Structure 1
Amino acid sequence: MKVDVHKLPQNSPDDISALDAAIATGKISPHDIVAIMGKTEGNGCVNDFTRGFAVQSLQAYLGKIIGQAQAAAIVYVMSGGTEGVLSPHLTVFTSQDSQPAQPKRMGLTLGVIHTRDFSPAEIGSLVMVEEVAEAVTKAIAAAGLAQKDVHFVQIKCPLITSRDRQLLTDEKQLGLSTGISKAVSSYQSMGYSRGASALGVAVALDEIRLEDIKAEDICQNYDLYSSIASTSAGVELRNCEILVMGNSPQSTSDFVIGHSVMQHALDVQAIHQAIAVTGQPIAQVVNIFAKAEADPTGAILGRRHTMMDDSDINHTRMARAVVGAVVASIVQDPMVYVSGGSEHQGPSGGGPVAAIAAIK
């Protein structure tokens, strides 16, 4: 497999001008696109329709070129919220078969997969954990990756809207399935969905045994987490779209990925460690992918923070701004991917971070 990575700026959620230019010049073959990750300038919450707008714009554009079926098969992960210095952009992943003459080396390889749609009662449940675990396992196998060489698993997952709750006629069934009730807000459901998806990754990568996870652990027992999962919830889909990234000795890619785990929002050493794992200097970094969370204890490095108590700005937005500034300051590029809400993704207050670099 030969994987290429392209980072493109966006002027608005429906701006495909940079992608169009890259395709027109032959830099990107639209037939080779397998995944697109983007940062959009919405609020990153339930009513952030910039994510769906961006996906719709990309699918409509690519559908005219490669056909609607192939365009729909691409994994689209749009993360809302470009607070602070974060700059809207797309990261486009292409994949094609390696040619016999191309030298093989430890390089970037990826697997993509879509789960089935989830019913409202399954979102944030053990059913979701199991389905995601199975899908991630399949994607790892399809990519030809060894478990130890998987460095990042990015998932876009659904949420429960107020209408979904109205459709649930058996509150007891919802409680048994997810450990939550109809009283849980749509915003809170995002956390349950992210958390269940992350635990699914942990199971697939043998970080946690499935039998050791109880329904009531989801969004409650944060001692259970994945050091590789990055999950993001949105109203624009009903299934999970999954992108597995790792390194394989059979790759002919000119890119490599590394990862680490931030222990807190100011953990610059973890970012440097993720870059160091790639074996490439900072100047070769194409993009950084990080999770951000306002520490639920209300403190960071022993100092009190007020992100959880602000009634004007959601704490996930503040966390993205903080981590985005930290990451951007290291790579000296505000076009970095920082996603808020890290339930069961790294330790509380922290989160996984990955770096993709071009091989010198």
Structure 2
Amino acid sequence: MPECLAFRVPTRHPADVSGLDALIASGAVAPEEIVAVFGKTEGNGCVNDFTRPLAVMALEASLSARLGLSPAEVGARVALVMSGGTEGGLSPHLLILARRETPGAEGRAEGKAEESKALAVGTAFTDDFLPEEIGRMAQVRATASAVERAMAAAGIADIADVHFVQVKCPLLTSARIQEAAGRGHEVATHDTYASMGLSRGASALGIGLALAEIAESALDDAVIGTRTDLYSGRASASAGIELMRNEVIVLGNAPGWRGPLRIAHRVMRDGIDLSAIQGALSDLGFPVAGQLAPDQAERVVALLAKAEPSGDGLIRGRRHIMNDDSDINATRHARALVGGVAAAAIGRTDLFVSGGAEHQGPDGGGPVAVIGRIQA
């Protein structure tokens, strides 16, 4: 019977894997059990954020030495999702997810095993995309297929049991744009920063398609990045320069899994929607009268959220300047805003808040999920 293990460790810099090394050395997790790593790095989260590939290289090197595999082979089996940007008070850290096979519970009453659900994780990867496929329907469809495979890997048959789907997706660079042009193909955009949003948006629409949140008949290339009314309430996508495929991690509560961890989600309608965070906490049995007490905060293994400035420049009717600031990118403002709201609710700052929520929740809002340890 599988159990999903989750460990949160701080990092001192993007290449710091000492927390992972300590977990393995202590016997808390075996390297072959690790299926995914989420990371928040202190880069800018934009096209030239090389803290993300630096962190990936360090993780691949650490795991390859222990698994007897090449770094490329590690990357082919472990989903490494690095999200750049720890603006405001957000704390750089890693969230390490593992799957452990344990003996099945004996002597349980008939039917009880089917009723019990625990945190489940499944991963899948698309093939590498051609530059001209990024931000277009080819990426949407490939992502939907990968989500379905990841659900199967997690043993999740009911889409209602899926609470969060994280995708790491590629972006366009000048070199990739020129490579496509050399073959006679036009890419979705020549703006490398805009390509991040299109890639995230296509990935999110693929998640929505797989989870029956969006009808395929509503989708074509033209809606990607434009139809803000089309979104998934469980999608999180982060674009990076370090890959050309989509890496998909499905998190849910599934029968047949054991352990004390559960996940719940809500959708924030804007960046200050504290009630959505409290709703997810309440679903897991946490008290929500104010900030969590320190002992309750430690039961929260992870908070995962998306952040995006609203397109109309307003939050509940009042003007914000996130989209008008030429010095600081809008997604960086949004991460700091949502990170502050989430930290006030949880009472901790090592939270996975990712910027750029195209088709990931309503305009100006986004999904939020909490993984918590259930008290017996």
Matched-pair contact (CA < 8 Å) for 1:79–1:339: yes
- Alignment-mate amino acid for residue 178 of structure 2: Q
- Alignment-mate amino acid for residue 44 of structure 1: G
Identity of aligned residues (%): 47
State the match for 1:119 in structure 2: 130
State the match for 1:98 in structure 2: 102
Q: Deviations over 1:216-269 (max 9, x none)?
A: 000011110000000000000000111000001221122000000000000000
- Cα distance in 2 between the residues matched to 1:150 and 1:279: 19
Matched-pair contact (CA < 8 Å) for 2:129–2:245: yes
State the match for 2:59 in structure 1: 58
Specify the SS of the correspondent of 2:186. helix
- Cα distance in 1 between the residues matched to 2:286 and 2:252: 16
State the match for 1:243 in structure 2: 249
Q: How does 1:1-360 map to 2 (within 5 A)?
A: 1-68=2-69, 71-72=74-75, 73-101=77-105, 104=113, 105-145=116-156, 146-169=158-181, 173-174=185-186, 180-182=188-190, 185-281=191-287, 282=292, 283=296, 284-360=299-375
Give the C-alpha shift of residue 340 in structure 1.
Answer: 0.1
- Cα distance in 1 between the residues matched to 2:189 and 2:340: 36
Higher mean displacement: 249-258 or 84-93: 249-258
Give the C-alpha shift of residue 67 in structure 1.
Answer: 2.4
Q: Deviations over 1:55-102 (max 9, x none)?
A: 000000110001225622100000000001000000000102231237
Q: TM-score, normalised by structure 1?
A: 0.95
- Cα distance in 1 between the residues matched to 2:127 and 2:258: 32
- Alignment-mate amino acid for residue 147 of structure 1: I
Unmatched segments (≥5 aa) in structure 2: none
Q: TM-score, normalised by structure 2?
A: 0.91
- Cα distance in 1 between the residues matched to 2:308 and 2:235: 14
- Alignment-mate amino acid for residue 51 of structure 1: R
- Alignment-mate amino acid for residue 312 of structure 2: T
- Alignment-mate amino acid for residue 36 of structure 1: V
Give the C-alpha shift of residue 168 in structure 1.
Answer: 2.5
- Alignment-mate amino acid for residue 349 of structure 1: G
- Cα distance in 2 between the residues matched to 1:8 and 1:120: 35
Matched-pair contact (CA < 8 Å) for 2:189–2:195: no
Matched-pair contact (CA < 8 Å) for 1:4–1:254: no
How many residues are paired up? 354
RMSD: 1.5
